[in-house]
Amino acid sequence: MSSIAIWVMHSGKWDDANCYVDYVIEGVVFRENASFTELYNIIATQLAVDVTLKVLKIEYKNDQSSTRVVIHNEMGCEYM
φ, ψ of residue 52 to 5 degrees: the values are -80, -15
pLDDT at residue 77, rounded to an integer: 62
Domain count, the chain: 1
What pLDDT, on the 0 to 100 scale, is given for residue 1? 72
pTM: 0.79
Q: Are the C-beta atoms of residues 39 and 51 closer than 8 Å to each other? A: no
Across the 80 residues of the chain, what is the mean pLDDT of every consecutive 10-residue run?
A: 90 89 95 90 94 91 77 66
Supply the pLDDT for residue 69.
Answer: 82
For residues 79 and 47, what is the distance between their CA atoms, to the nearest angstrom? 24
Domain region containing 44: 3-78
Q: What residues contact residue 16 under an 8 Å CB cut-off, 6+ apart?
A: none
pLDDT given at position 75: 64
CATH (domain of 19): 3.10.20
